[in-house]
Structure 1
Amino acid sequence: MAPTPSAPEVTPSGSPRTPPADRTRLLPQVSGRHHALDGVRALACLMVLVVHVSTETGDALAPGPVGALLSSSALAVPLFFALSGVLLYRPWARAALDGTRGPHTGAYLWRRLMRVFPSYWVVAVVALFLYAGEHLSSARHWFEVLTLTFPFNTAPHWAGPGPEGLGQMWSLSVEIAFYVTLPLLAVFLGLWAKGGRTVDARGRRLLGGLVAVTVLAYLALIPQYYPEPRELMHSWLPRCMGMFAVGMALATLSEWAWRESGPDGPVRRFCRTVGTAPGLCWTVAAAFYVLEATPAAGGRFFEPGNLWMSIVESTASIGFAFFVVAPVALAPPAPEGPRRRLRSLATWTEGAWLDGLMRHPVMVYFAPISYGVFLWQFVVLYLWRDFTGQEIFTGSFWLDLVPVLIGSVLLGKLTHHLVEEPSRRWSREFFTSGTRAGRGRMRHGGDARDPQPPAQDRSRD
């Protein structure tokens, strides 16, 4: 079903055309390269590096507010999960609202596979040869690492969330589980949405379904502790689904705003309010960040604590992810011309500081290489600390952060150019070359009837 006549005009390619209206009434950007979301990805990448370096040096574990706030940088993980929800669920949300066919599942899964694994395999092999030790000859260990299934090993020989040099990859394992689950989840949400006769009814059903997914994520915390504690479940998908659901809900709202009936309905007003109030949203996000730093949210070193602490931690994660990503995901397209300069007073007085920050050259530089920086940082960190002779939980955070950042950036940039981009290009050509029957029409993870915004192809994940 096409959008209602009152919705903004849609071009033949399926991308909404920005109407020449007052900027305060513009609707969320849902197509094209979303530079501001790229900026959030870069921010999350830097936060991950901060928490890993500060934990290794012991600064994040030290008593006091500084250590607590450093440890809260782990909230970068919910940001990555929410971004995946926004970017990957958008075509399914669009299809559910319009009552049309969603993306081609095979093409989507293939592109996710080629997006994640080639670069990961390079880093994993290096880490295995450096740190696997006596387990280097273990076929099971190689299989678990190369398939990102090691978080499901209930009797691991390593300490912490993963093998040495790969401890951060537990979150990548969760991402892979989400990728595999998303098409099935989207089918159920789409079927549930079909019960609505209008676009608005379908939108309400989609949001209701995502609320149910979030509730189930909280319920998944119960078997993590009862009848006995199972700490490994902390790094499994079920407890994290609420963080993905936040992004999925934002994708739904942004697409729904273009189709909502009436001249200015509640969804459009909500999107406009949130999209033009980044200061308020990020202030609320800061409150959730502080909540994560308190003992109520559990320990600081991958220690969930108990059920109630995990509930608080999940609430802080979901709240932080929503209020950081929402004003970006629901904002209208950036105005034409150069980005707003942060040193300009007008940028702050006119409320354009978030766009100026997210499109800052530093963010633009980090966004495309953020996945490589994420992959290499523990290998670089351990090599640096071995070179300088530092023991665990000793050293200086700042003296370690700079060289580890430089090394991770250099390797991340090399990986991006030599592995990520070639893999991405090859995966696209595979589905557009016509070598497989019925796949010649595939483009960007969808079919010819449902073209995907280019931004969806650039999630970290």
Structure 2
Amino acid sequence: MRAVAAIAVLTTHVSFQTAAVNTGVIGPILGRLDLAVALFFGLSGFLLWRPWAGAARSSTRADVVRPPDAALPPPDTGVPAPGAASSSDAGVPGLGAASSSDAGVPGLGAASSSDAGVPGLGAASSSPDTGVPAPPAASSSPVEVRGAARRRASKPGETKMSAPGPSRAPRPDIGRYFRHRIVRIWPAYIVVVVLVLTLLPDAKGADLTVWLANLTLTQVFVALSLTAGLTQMWSLSVEVAFYLLLPLIGLVLVRLRGDRARVRIPVILAVGVLSLGWAWFAATLPLADGVEPKNWVFGHLPWFVSGLVLAEIAATVEAAHHDPASYPGGLRITVALSANRPLMAAVFVVAYALACTPLAGPTGLGELTHLQFATKMVLGAIVGYALLAPLVCATGPFGFLDSPVMQALGRWSYGIFIWHLAVLAVVFPLFGIVPFNGNMPLVLAITVPLTIGVSAASYTFIEDPARRWLNAREAVKGSVS
């Protein structure tokens, strides 16, 4: 699914820079592929919130013993009735969880919640390692509840830790979460920024403010800091802001545990609804010219909320041992509807079609009214939920998404996101193609393979080594402690 989102982001940018967004009926459809960002944000919300949702339903903290050099066992992340879920560790985005496990949902790619669907980002390392986006592969068999672990004295050389599981999930480890987030995002990202700002003609000569804003992913807060080859990074800036916000949300909801966990979904939905008023509120802020507060995380919370809600559903189903008769309230109906692939496909088509109309604003350049912005947020959240819900709530197989090709593209999806505009900026002059003058099929046919090649190299020589370095470092520290 990360691969789908990454290619969609690339396609919408190609369609814009070839003016294809202005052609007949297909134009708005291509232009509105920018809702792939909603899918990325939904993935982040699901993967990163999963450990928090699981911890809220733990009644006690049982201890188990593990050798000091053993990998930290991920908290049980059985996917809601469905199936498959590889509980790969993900101290990350998955936010924190002590051992923030990713919920490898079939089709979702792999699952290291660590990765987290970063805006284009999506995650990308398909290896389920620790907190890294590990995308692709995911175990198709559901994680089963093993029951309460018994406490016993640790032996010399062994370390006690909380036993994961639907009834006793470990608390999210926020420090580990942030370490994995940083290592997941910045190494390759910094390389892109430096190369673009030093070599790309339209971006060369940037002042110190632009450099700092881009290197720190604070572009959305700094006027006129989005530059050629890097304009897509606004969504990555929002993603990083969400990483900072997520632990705060977890702390705010910390008292909604046990029996009170049933109100977590209504509370999260209420926050999403309230955030729809962000455009009106932001208009009253005394900001410098050129700063667009609609691009801040508060305005895009509905897109993340779709994933947070799915994480809560998954955790509730797991806590009920996947027994529909034990689901609280109307969850049984919610899960059944969310698992219905034809229904979710229909919901997606309707929401996407509405998003292609003026209701959600222009699909190319142009200002969105406050109402259009709020409408786009609602429709994007529905699109994201409709695409992700079957992966979380339905049983497999998801043959296309779990195919070797899609798994590979999922591993490289972060690279596809951060590199594609730089590649596109080179394609036009290199092949003598005039921007905004048609030739979309040709430009797309050239840009896609070039971007995939660069992204594969980025993963192999930058992203994966950085991830392995952090994992090795943590393994050594764990053995020492």
**If the TM-score is normalised by the length of the shorter chain, which range does it land in?**
0.7 to 0.9
Which structure dedicates a bigger proportion of its chain to helix?
1
Aligned-pair CA distance for 1:272: 4.7
Q: Distance in 2 between matches of 1:441 and 1:172?
A: 35
In the alignment, structure 1 residue 408 sits paired with structure 2 residue 451: yes
Q: Distance in 2 between matches of 1:56 and 1:168?
A: 13
Paired-residue identity, %: 29
SS at match of 1:258: helix
In the alignment, structure 1 residue 259 sits paired with structure 2 residue 322: no
2:401 alignment partner in structure 1 = 358
Q: Distance in 1 between matches of 2:234 and 2:360?
A: 20
Q: Distance in 1 between matches of 2:246 and 2:204?
A: 34
Letter in 2 for 1:306: T
Asked if structure 2 preserves the Cα contact closer than 8 Å seen for 1:243 and 1:318, the reply is yes
1:310 alignment partner in structure 2 = 373
Aligned-pair CA distance for 1:137: 6.3
In the alignment, structure 1 residue 383 sits paired with structure 2 residue 441: no
Q: Distance in 2 between matches of 1:417 and 1:282?
A: 35
Asked if structure 2 preserves the Cα contact closer than 8 Å seen for 1:271 and 1:330, the reply is no
Letter in 2 for 1:73: L
**Residues 274-323 of structure 1: CA deviation (Å, up to 9, x unaligned):** 45411210111111111111011111225342111112111111111111
Match of 1:174 among 238, 244, 254: 238
1:124 alignment partner in structure 2 = 193
Letter in 1 for 2:7: L
**Residues 165-198 of structure 1: CA deviation (Å, up to 9, x unaligned):** 001111111110011111111111222x13xx52
Asked if structure 2 preserves the Cα contact closer than 8 Å seen for 1:174 and 1:236, the reply is yes
SS at match of 1:102: coil
1:427 alignment partner in structure 2 = 470
Stretches of structure 2 that go unaligned for 5 or more consecutive residues are: 62-169
1:248 alignment partner in structure 2 = 308
Q: In the comparison of the two structures, how many residue pairs are matched?
A: 367
SS at match of 1:97: coil
Q: How does 1:69-88 map to 2 (within 5 A)?
A: 69-88=29-48
**Residues 57-85 of structure 1: CA deviation (Å, up to 9, x unaligned):** 000133x2110111111110000000001
Match of 1:213 among 233, 258, 271: 271
Asked if structure 1 preserves the Cα contact closer than 8 Å seen for 2:197 and 2:203, the reply is no
1:396 alignment partner in structure 2 = 439
2:205 alignment partner in structure 1 = 136
1:115 alignment partner in structure 2 = 184
Asked if structure 1 preserves the Cα contact closer than 8 Å seen for 2:10 and 2:420, the reply is yes
In the alignment, structure 1 residue 60 sits paired with structure 2 residue 123: no
In the alignment, structure 1 residue 92 sits paired with structure 2 residue 52: yes
Q: How does 1:22-33 map to 2 (within 5 A)?
A: none
Question: What TM-score results when the alignment is normalised by the length of structure 2?
Answer: 0.72
Letter in 1 for 2:51: P
Letter in 1 for 2:379: A
Letter in 1 for 2:208: A
Asked if structure 1 preserves the Cα contact closer than 8 Å seen for 2:275 and 2:298, the reply is yes
Q: Distance in 2 between matches of 1:413 and 1:274?
A: 37
Aligned-pair CA distance for 1:144: 1.0
Match of 2:5 among 44, 58, 79: 44
Q: 1:137 to 1:302 in 2, by over 3 A?
A: closer
SS at match of 1:326: helix
Q: How does 1:230-245 map to 2 (within 5 A)?
A: 232-245=292-305
Q: Distance in 2 between matches of 1:235 and 1:302?
A: 15
Match of 1:320 among 383, 402, 411: 383
Asked if structure 2 preserves the Cα contact closer than 8 Å seen for 1:285 and 1:319, the reply is yes
Asked if structure 2 preserves the Cα contact closer than 8 Å seen for 1:111 and 1:428, the reply is no
Q: Distance in 1 between matches of 2:367 and 2:276?
A: 14
Q: Distance in 1 between matches of 2:428 and 2:220?
A: 25
Question: What TM-score results when the alignment is normalised by the length of structure 1?
Answer: 0.75
Aligned-pair CA distance for 1:360: 2.9
Aligned-pair CA distance for 1:49: 1.0
Q: Distance in 1 between matches of 2:468 and 2:381?
A: 34
Asked if structure 2 preserves the Cα contact closer than 8 Å seen for 1:234 and 1:304, the reply is no
Q: Distance in 2 between matches of 1:441 and 1:84?
A: 32
SS at match of 1:190: coil
Q: 1:227 to 1:263 in 2, by over 3 A?
A: closer
Aligned-pair CA distance for 1:141: 2.0
Letter in 2 for 1:115: R
Letter in 2 for 1:180: L
Q: 1:174 to 1:302 in 2, by over 3 A?
A: farther
Q: Which moved more, 1:164-173 or 1:90-99?
A: 90-99
Letter in 1 for 2:274: L
User: What's the C-alpha RMSD, in Å, of the aligned pairs?
Assistant: 2.3
Q: Distance in 2 between matches of 1:137 and 1:48?
A: 25
Asked if structure 2 preserves the Cα contact closer than 8 Å seen for 1:288 and 1:320, the reply is yes
Letter in 2 for 1:282: A
Q: Distance in 2 between matches of 1:224 and 1:98?
A: 38
Match of 1:163 among 210, 227, 232: 227
Q: Distance in 2 between matches of 1:293 and 1:74?
A: 11
In the alignment, structure 1 residue 284 sits paired with structure 2 residue 350: no
Q: Which moved more, 1:383-392 or 1:45-54?
A: 383-392
Q: Distance in 1 between matches of 2:367 and 2:451?
A: 28
Q: 1:134 to 1:54 in 2, by over 3 A?
A: closer
Letter in 1 for 2:392: A
Asked if structure 1 preserves the Cα contact closer than 8 Å seen for 2:42 and 2:306, the reply is yes
Q: Distance in 2 between matches of 1:61 and 1:429?
A: 50
Q: Which moved more, 1:130-139 or 1:289-298?
A: 130-139
1:452 alignment partner in structure 2 = none
Q: How does 1:145-156 map to 2 (within 5 A)?
A: 145-154=214-223, 156=224
SS at match of 2:10: helix
Asked if structure 1 preserves the Cα contact closer than 8 Å seen for 2:12 and 2:34, the reply is yes
Aligned-pair CA distance for 1:441: 9.0
Q: Distance in 2 between matches of 1:287 and 1:402?
A: 29
Q: 1:230 to 1:318 in 2, by over 3 A?
A: farther
Aligned-pair CA distance for 1:130: 2.3
Asked if structure 2 preserves the Cα contact closer than 8 Å seen for 1:224 and 1:230, the reply is no
2:71 alignment partner in structure 1 = none
In the alignment, structure 1 residue 331 sits paired with structure 2 residue 382: no
SS at match of 2:412: helix
Q: Distance in 2 between matches of 1:300 and 1:231?
A: 21
Letter in 2 for 1:238: F
Asked if structure 1 preserves the Cα contact closer than 8 Å seen for 2:16 and 2:364, the reply is yes
Aligned-pair CA distance for 1:152: 0.9
Q: 1:230 to 1:150 in 2, by over 3 A?
A: closer
